[in-house]
Amino acid sequence: MLIDQERMGMIMRAKTHPRQLGIPLSRWGRNLIACCPFHSPEETSLFFYDALGYWRYRCLQCGSEGDLVEFVMRSRFNGLDEQAARTEALDFLGTLEQEHESQPDEHPWIKEIGGEKSKVLENFVRYCHWAACKSPSSAEFLASRGWSIGQAQLYGIGYYSGDPEPFISYCMLSGIERHQISFYLDNLEAYHEPRITIPARNSKGLIHSVYGRLIDDAEATHPYVSYASGPSDIPFNIQSEISKPVIVEGFFDALTADLAGIPGVVSTMYQELSLSHLYKLKACGADAVTVILRREQDRREQEFRIQKYLKMAEELNLKFKSIVLPAGETVDQVVRKNGADQLISLVDQTEEDTVHTHRRSMLLQDIKENFDTAMGCPPEVSVGYTLNTFPKLTREIDGIQSGCFYVSSKPFGLKTTLLSSIGLDLLQSNPNLKLIYIALETPRRQIFDRMVAMMIGESVLTVRKQNEDEAINQKILEATRDLMGFVRNNRLEIWEDQPTLDNIELADILKDEVKEHPNLVVIIDGIDHLKVSTHMDLSDIYQRRSSVILDLYKTLDIPMFLGGELIDSDGELVGPRAYLRDSDATYWLEEKGADMVLSVDSKRLGNNKLYQGNLHIDPLSNRMEEEPCLL
């Protein structure tokens, strides 16, 4: 019996292949499919897969599963008792054994890790595969992604609880020592959160790493980890003899496409596509690649990156296509919603990229998305963010939209009052918006006091100390709690000038912020004090600051208000002309007798005079709002 088991294990893991079974097989992604002889000979629902290091079968309809010995037992020797059927199956498969001839002159990149490391990793995959069948949380997570446990098993997807001891005990039964586990799974004890596990194989089918994805990654800093140190530039799901691989970003993008039968879909595992990735794909037979990316907020940066990919492909003489999906869509969603044919058709119909055709294809995608966005906004809805205390301004400019807006006033101090009023209105009127107020001229505490005072209609001096009137103290308390609520909910940040804050640090911070909060508005009060450390080719400091802000605006594509000083000379605004020239609109607040007039002028957004209206300023809190129109 022990000899039979040893022989069975050797056949299963080393030599037996579904082609030896003598049944019609078709390629389906990286797996093979056939008609199921156990429930419906006409239905191609039987998958053959080698996710656990040897070939197994599973029918996604009737649930039949097992190794190839068991397949032969059930399909050819079903009338015998189990022991006799197993003996006959082993003899049948042993008779059909064919020695695999080694391929001479293999490309060095195809020769990847094997031996003892593969044995440890395959044991980890089999353990996690077993654990996934016992774990309700993994089943719930997979179901939320549209996967059943049966489908997940085709790819060796498993579950690891974060506790290494049960796995170590499991390995002892397989003759694997603890020091081998620590050596090859060197990150196993570094992460103790429950994770879905996903084995990564090289082009020869050998496991080179096992990745873990957090089940609950709402606040995770490391949603994806590798339990085994190893090469990070092998595309996930790489296969040999694929001439036109499709490169996607996420694990489930590649796995869902493969499950749908699309051949050669690989993933960079959210890493930057590199020349090494492309080199390995070419070594496996690629002569053309298609890169499918999720649309990013920074469209400009994404286009530059695709141009870099195009140059890398040209360097390796690979034909290149690029596809950027509509905002919010992923390959996983496209395949599940529209089927494999939709993605295949999209790849086939996409024109091959050159430097010229790439620019054209990106432009066509942007034009279509721009039209779809416009047609998706009803006439009565503002395109931008609303201002409840500035209803006419909201109507005239169609809400606060993406742009670079310069704000100044006469007298000069009123521009900070206007910026504070607009910022507070944006927060109170738009529950999904985040405001970053960068105060380069005043201490941060003054901004706190000003906003609290505006919220309760009292003076700044009143909110700085306890009042004899307990009702006012209560209003201050409630307004302070509201302000703290904005901060706790990550909707408000107030920065003051710091020795290290320059335009480079500002750009890096804001890029990260926009990734997390697309509905971001930035107010820079005191732009004349922003430290500039780039654009040294421009001698004029205002030119340099304006060029920096333009670069920032083009990268972020969000509303940005810049408060600074201008001069009114006989009705003409003069001063730092770079700001006037480069801004999408200029907000100019001016006292004219007893009236306070706000004008919004633009050279880029239609009429020069977009808006003009009288503002009312609260005599106590200094909060500004539009004067109501008299009917």
Q: What percent of the chain has pLDDT over 90?
A: 33
Contact 453, 459 (CB under 8 A): yes
Please check whether residues 245 and 360 belong to one and the same domain.
yes
Q: Is the pLDDT of residue 630 over 50?
A: no
- Residue 378's pLDDT band (cuts 50, 70, 90): confident
Q: Is the dihedral of CA 469, 471, 472, 474 positive or negative?
A: positive
Task: State the CATH number of the domain containing residue 354.
Answer: 3.40.1360.10
Q: Is the pLDDT of residue 44 over 60?
A: yes
- Whole-number CA gyration radius for the chain: 32
Q: Is the pLDDT of residue 312 over 90?
A: yes
Greatest alpha-carbon span in the chain: 107
Percentages (nearest 5) of helix, strand, coil residues in the chain? 40, 20, 40
Report DSSP state, residue 245.
Answer: -
Q: What percent of the chain has pLDDT over 70?
A: 91
> Which of 527, 296, 257, 511 is closest to 404 using CA atoms?
527
Residue 107's pLDDT is 41
Phi, psi for 46 (deg, rounded to 5): -95, 120
- Residue 453's pLDDT band (cuts 50, 70, 90): very high
Contact 602, 585 (CB under 8 A): yes
* Structural domain count of the chain: 4
Task: State the CATH number of the domain containing residue 408.
Answer: 3.40.50.300
> Which of 152, 209, 217 is closest to 186 using CA atoms?
209
409: β partners: 589
Please check whether residues 421 and 561 belong to one and the same domain.
yes
The C-alpha atoms of residue 263 and residue 254 are separated, in whole angstroms, by 10
**Of 602 and 47, more confident:** 47
Please check whether residues 212 and 247 belong to one and the same domain.
no
Contact 522, 559 (CB under 8 A): yes
Please check whether residues 206 and 221 belong to one and the same domain.
yes
Phi, psi for 616 (deg, rounded to 5): -105, 135
CB burial readout 358-372, b (16+ within 10 A) else e: beebbeebeeeeeee
**pLDDT average, residue stretch 502-528:** 88
Please check whether residues 222 and 246 belong to one and the same domain.
no
Which ranges of 108-238 does DSSP label H, i.e. alpha helix?
116-134, 136-144, 149-153, 164-173, 178-184
Residue 569's pLDDT is 75
* 460 Cβ contact list (under 8 Å, min separation 6): 446, 449, 450, 453, 621, 622
> Which of 190, 180, 135, 123 is closest to 161 using CA atoms?
135
Q: Is the pLDDT of residue 230 over 60?
A: yes
Would you say residue 422 lies in a domain? yes
Residue 116's pLDDT is 81
- Residue 605's pLDDT band (cuts 50, 70, 90): low
Q: Is the pLDDT of residue 372 over 80?
A: no
Would you say residue 617 lies in a domain? no
Would you say residue 366 lies in a domain? yes
Residue 560's pLDDT is 95
**pLDDT average, residue stretch 438-448:** 90
The C-alpha atoms of residue 366 and residue 358 are separated, in whole angstroms, by 12
Which of 198, 231, 264 represents a domain boundary (last residue)?
Answer: 231
Please check whether residues 367 and 285 belong to one and the same domain.
yes
Please check whether residues 226 and 247 belong to one and the same domain.
no
Which of 209, 231, 253 represents a domain boundary (last residue)?
Answer: 231
Which of 231, 251, 270 represents a domain boundary (last residue)?
Answer: 231
Q: Could you report the per-residue pLDDT of 548-578, keeping only the tens digit for each?
A: 888 888 888 899 999 998 887 776 777 788 8
Other residues' Cβ atoms within 10 Å of the Cβ of residue 133: 14
Residue 100's pLDDT is 39
Q: Is the pLDDT of residue 369 over 80?
A: no
Q: Which domain holds residue 216?
A: 114-231
CA angle 125, 128, 134 (to 5 degrees): 150
Residue 275's pLDDT is 93
The C-alpha atoms of residue 281 and residue 261 are separated, in whole angstroms, by 19
Please check whether residues 70 and 149 belong to one and the same domain.
no
Q: Is the pLDDT of residue 69 over 50?
A: yes
Residue 606's pLDDT is 61
> Which has the minimum average pLDDT: 1-5, 455-459, 461-465, 610-614?
1-5
Residue 607's pLDDT is 60
Residue 118's pLDDT is 80
Most confident of 97-106, 222-231, 338-347: 338-347
Would you say residue 356 lies in a domain? yes
Q: Is the pLDDT of residue 322 over 80?
A: yes
Residue 134's pLDDT is 86
- Residue 391's pLDDT band (cuts 50, 70, 90): very high
Please check whether residues 447 and 539 belong to one and the same domain.
yes
Q: Could you report the per-residue pLDDT of 149-158, keeping only the tens digit for each?
A: 888 888 889 9
Please check whether residues 447 and 491 belong to one and the same domain.
yes
Q: Is the pLDDT of residue 400 over 60?
A: yes
Q: Is the pLDDT of residue 225 over 60?
A: yes
DSSP letters of 43-82? ---EEEE-TTSS-EEEETTT--EEEHHHHHHHHH-TTS-H
Would you say residue 260 lies in a domain? yes
Task: State the CATH number of the domain containing residue 65.
Answer: 3.90.580.10
Written as one letter, the residue type at 240 is S
**pLDDT average, residue stretch 49-70:** 85
CA dihedral of 573, 578, 584, 590, whole degrees rounded to 10: -20
**Of 88 and 255, more confident:** 255
Residue 629's pLDDT is 56
* Mean of pLDDT over the chain: 84
Q: Could you report the per-residue pLDDT of 84-127, keeping only the tens digit for each?
A: 888 888 888 776 554 434 444 444 433 344 478 888 888 899 89
Please check whether residues 413 and 552 belong to one and the same domain.
yes
The C-alpha atoms of residue 45 and residue 37 are separated, in whole angstroms, by 10
- Residue 222's pLDDT band (cuts 50, 70, 90): low
Please check whether residues 261 and 277 belong to one and the same domain.
yes
Would you say residue 261 lies in a domain? yes
Reply yes or no: is the peptide bond before residue 37 cis, omega within 30 of 0: no
Would you say residue 102 lies in a domain? no
Q: Is the dihedral of CA 476, 477, 478, 484 positive or negative?
A: positive
Would you say residue 39 lies in a domain? yes
